Structure 1
Amino acid sequence: MTSAMLLLWIALGIVVQLALWLGIVFWRHWQRYIALQDQANGKSTSPLTESLQSDNASEGWKGFRTFKVIQKTLEDDNGAICSFYLRPEDRQSLPVFKPGQFLTFKLAIPTPGGTAEELIRCYSLSDSPAHDAYRVSIKRVPTPNGTSLPPGRSSNFFHDYVHVGSSLAVRAPSGHFYLNHEASPVVLIGGGIGITPMLSMLNWIVNHQPEREVWLFYGVRNSAEVIMKAHLLALAAQHPNFKLRICFSAPLPGDMTARDFHHRGRIDVALLRTELPLKPFDFYICGPTPMMESLVDALEDWGVPDSRIHFEAFGPASIKRKSSIEPKVSESCTETVMVTFAKSNKQFIWDGTSNSLLEFAESNGVKVESGCRAGGCGSCETRIQSGEVKFSHSPDFDSEPGNCLLCVCIPVTDVVLEA
């Protein structure tokens, strides 16, 4: 064989290898493209994804079910946040929930008199859906500095009285704040303990949609308040489509930029505009009320459509979008609507500025028990003595006939409520 022939065969071999390599690369990218198209069109072959696409994904049981605490783990240096791993006492498989949803607990809180007071409280699930156990991560709420306000009763109960082996009454996962299953890019924003539903969403994305672009902006005061940092850093290292930004508003003297956090200051739209590429992101926000109020308004001013801004508020928090402030009275009702709270012996004219009867009651000094504020827990269920109300959306909790859920109802006519 001549030298020319040898060189020709070598060149041919190189061309064949290059063609094979290009073919493999093309095939892999084509498979990823097909997977993304299937996700975008709701055709994912993952059983878990199919479950999440169903409106009934979190339907599992009626009423309360007994769970055992199988693990209790402190998550931060301050010892203020604790994760509780829960397994059903009957060991039956758990329904798949939607990442971002919460659990409702019925708690028996000890009182100074030696009795127990029943409280209903809701806490976000903080991990990706699983069929054998759930996880919630709960922050101890101390007495606010400089006030005489009591500490958080339910959160302190969990920290002080709930241990491995404890039994808890739990309602099925619910809530209307959850991750969509599309392949669109996502920005998760968690402030303080508001990181918990974001962890659920993030863990689900990296496990089931690794090609989906996801950014997490996590805001706390300093390194002592960060939870699950090792887990977040590991995910960022393993998944190139996940971008992590930890923000400290009040770093400790030993906290260092790049090592402990990425940005000094609070999470705001100026930071988002600096960090994010120009893409149609969906924004999911959970955190302190001032943070959410400022971010929601600023995102709207930035031009983000309402349909792409999602947020969660628990307890007394109430977040209003500027674009959604409008009278809540039925268009067919042009007369003055009177709302009477029978037990409180108070009566007010409905002015249409509140998002719900619960907000209206609170703004007028009427004390009403509440939990999720989204129609999921039933804490604010109230008897309608007379009149008519309507629901702003279909609630997850099934109220008794003749009752309403104040957190998702507005009056249509004069109404008398047993509250």
Structure 2
Amino acid sequence: MTSLTLLLLITLAIVLQLTIYLSYNFWQHWRIFQVLRRQANESDLPIAYDAGLVSEQKKSLAWNGLRTFRVSSKTTEDELGLICSFFLVPEDGLALPPFYPGQFLTFQIDLLASAGDANGVSERIIRCYSLSDAPAADGYRISVKRALPPAHCQVPEGRGASYFHDQVEVGRRLQVRAPAGHFYIDRSMAPVVLIAGGIGITPMMSMLNCTLPQQPGREVWLFYGVRQQNELVMRAHLEHLAADYPQFHLRFCFSDTEAIADAADLGCQYRGRIDVTLLRRQLPLKPFHYYICGPTPMLESLVPALKEWGVPQNRIHFESFGPASIPRNNTAALAAEQSDTGIVVSFALADKQVPWQAGSATLLDFAEENGIAVNSGCRTGSCGSCQTTILAGEVAYLQSPDYDPEVGTCLLCVCRPKTSVSLEL
């Protein structure tokens, strides 16, 4: 046997071993892929709980317009005293509709125009606050954070939050619209990851308090990010849930890297902001649904990163504070299609005509950009606060709103002009 023949045999042996090794690994990964795909399909099937029945109950018990509620209790939820929970009961004593965990209530608030105004003239504002507990037959709970301005900044405190903290006590009557919102946890057995930043924990509390007792076998992870430990909301309750439900995995994340004083006592604390690197280290390989609620910068970072990681878009659900700034596919597509040459938006009451700009996301954004004051709340088509009469022209909706606008009106927060349009503003 020549040396060339020996070399050829060795090369063939190496190639054969590599082929066997790669084929075996491909087969293993293919099996894992098939298992994950089957889990994804099976876990998305509804359980015995009838979501359709809840929907029917919501329709039969929901109210139109405003309903009077009375505050039956007020509780501080954090060490700093910046977050208060308010338990609300209906003044009429009638049954309440159930809601989907993650939804919110819309409040109509009358504020004095100025301190000590003798005429009692008031300003009306609309605010939305997430429900922060599981559905109950006798009342609703919301949790509100006092919106303090940054240090050395002359910006005033948030008016809605200050009203609740300073003026709303037990016995106060409030005007409330029915629960609404598209951001809520599904009722399948699919594993879920909840990601909360700051006061974004409130809808997650509703999801946890509903899901864990009713679906104890469902795998649930919570990544809860704040700056420091004393900003945590309902920490003791969260830790009790983690102790009571083995399938619930709790992770606190502190962006202030000096914040963890007792990390040795609690193994669920992490330094730094919540990011995909942390999620990759912590989460097993499963077809999770991701629910994210927090400030806009958090969503602007996490949502694209999850997509880059390979999470399908239909498994990423999110809600931000204030105007949504994360573009949805339909919004981006419509903006790309709509060159909008020649479309003019007329604000009749303001006697103002402005050429429509394709870069504006909605008519609500466009109105605000042009100095037109508009009542708004949810900015997602759920509360009806921005309902406005159309005097002429047509609009197109970016998504089907939860709230049904009256004939001849539109919800500015989820529509754009289809033709030149005149609005009663």
Letter in 2 for 1:309: I
Matching residue within 282, 289, 311 for 1:282: 289
Q: Which shows bigger deviation, 309-318 or 406-415?
A: 309-318
Displacement of 1:38 in angstroms is 9.5
1:86-101 equivalences in 2 (<5 Å)? 86-101=88-103
> Paired residue for 1:316?
323
Displacement of 1:89 in angstroms is 1.3
1:294 matched to 2:301? The reply is yes
User: Structure 1's 173 and 307: CA in aligned 2 closer, same or farther, altered over 3 A?
Assistant: same
1:70 matched to 2:72? The reply is yes
Matched position secondary structure for 2:263: coil
Q: Which shows bigger deviation, 117-126 or 253-262?
A: 253-262
Q: 1 CA distance for matches of 2:260 and 2:303?
A: 33
Letter in 2 for 1:301: E
Contact 1:223 1:252 (C-alpha < 8 Å) held by counterparts: no
Deviations 1:86-137 (A, max 9, x none): 1111222211100100001111222322432221111000011111111000
Displacement of 1:402 in angstroms is 1.8
> Paired residue for 1:81?
83
Matching residue within 128, 144, 147 for 2:153: 147
Q: Which shows bigger deviation, 400-409 or 283-292?
A: 400-409
Displacement of 1:321 in angstroms is 4.8
Q: Which shows bigger deviation, 195-204 or 309-318?
A: 309-318
Q: 1 CA distance for matches of 2:101 and 2:401?
A: 18
> Paired residue for 1:8?
none
Q: 1 CA distance for matches of 2:80 and 2:396?
A: 45
User: Structure 1's 268 and 324: CA in aligned 2 closer, same or farther, altered over 3 A?
Assistant: farther
> Paired residue for 1:368?
374
Matched position secondary structure for 2:123: strand
Q: 1 CA distance for matches of 2:133 and 2:306?
A: 27
Q: When the two structures are superposed, what TM-score results if normalisation uses the length of structure 1? A: 0.83
Q: 2 CA distance for matches of 1:105 and 1:239?
A: 34
1:42 matched to 2:49? The reply is no
1:91-240 equivalences in 2 (<5 Å)? 91-112=93-114, 113=117, 114-240=120-246
Q: 1 CA distance for matches of 2:219 and 2:68?
A: 38
1:327 matched to 2:334? The reply is yes
Q: 1 CA distance for matches of 2:342 and 2:371?
A: 21
Deviations 1:318-376 (A, max 9, x none): 22257962234877x97542223344455444343343222333345544332100112
Percent identity reads 53
Q: 2 CA distance for matches of 1:396 and 1:83?
A: 26
Q: 2 CA distance for matches of 1:129 and 1:220?
A: 26
Q: Which shows bigger deviation, 210-219 or 366-375?
A: 366-375
> Paired residue for 1:7?
none
Q: Which shows bigger deviation, 374-383 or 56-65?
A: 56-65
Matched position secondary structure for 1:383: strand
Q: 2 CA distance for matches of 1:217 and 1:50?
A: 30
Contact 1:57 1:97 (C-alpha < 8 Å) held by counterparts: no
Contact 2:102 2:185 (C-alpha < 8 Å) held by counterparts: yes
Displacement of 1:380 in angstroms is 1.5
Matched position secondary structure for 1:78: coil
Q: 2 CA distance for matches of 1:323 and 1:334?
A: 17
Contact 1:103 1:173 (C-alpha < 8 Å) held by counterparts: yes
Letter in 1 for 2:345: V
Deviations 1:229-268 (A, max 9, x none): 1111111111111111110111566733243661111111
Contact 1:327 1:352 (C-alpha < 8 Å) held by counterparts: no
Letter in 2 for 1:101: Q
> Paired residue for 2:261?
255
User: Structure 1's 176 and 58: CA in aligned 2 closer, same or farther, altered over 3 A?
Assistant: farther
User: Structure 1's 258 and 101: CA in aligned 2 closer, same or farther, altered over 3 A?
Assistant: farther
Letter in 2 for 1:250: D
- Computed over aligned residues only, the root mean square deviation of the Cα atoms, in angstroms, reads 2.6
User: Structure 1's 267 and 346: CA in aligned 2 closer, same or farther, altered over 3 A?
Assistant: farther
Q: 2 CA distance for matches of 1:273 and 1:110?
A: 50
1:379-394 equivalences in 2 (<5 Å)? 379-394=385-400
User: Structure 1's 393 and 58: CA in aligned 2 closer, same or farther, altered over 3 A?
Assistant: farther
Letter in 2 for 1:41: L
Q: 1 CA distance for matches of 2:260 and 2:193?
A: 29
Contact 1:58 1:172 (C-alpha < 8 Å) held by counterparts: no
Contact 2:293 2:320 (C-alpha < 8 Å) held by counterparts: yes
Q: 2 CA distance for matches of 1:253 and 1:40?
A: 39
Contact 1:297 1:321 (C-alpha < 8 Å) held by counterparts: no
Contact 2:401 2:414 (C-alpha < 8 Å) held by counterparts: yes
Contact 1:296 1:321 (C-alpha < 8 Å) held by counterparts: no
Contact 2:390 2:422 (C-alpha < 8 Å) held by counterparts: yes
Contact 1:142 1:152 (C-alpha < 8 Å) held by counterparts: yes
Q: 1 CA distance for matches of 2:334 and 2:400?
A: 20
- For structure 2, list consecutive stretches of 5 or more residues without a partner in the other structure: 1-39
Matched position secondary structure for 1:179: coil
Displacement of 1:216 in angstroms is 0.5
Q: Which shows bigger deviation, 396-405 or 348-357?
A: 348-357
Contact 1:67 1:86 (C-alpha < 8 Å) held by counterparts: yes
Q: 2 CA distance for matches of 1:93 and 1:396?
A: 21
Aligned length: 381
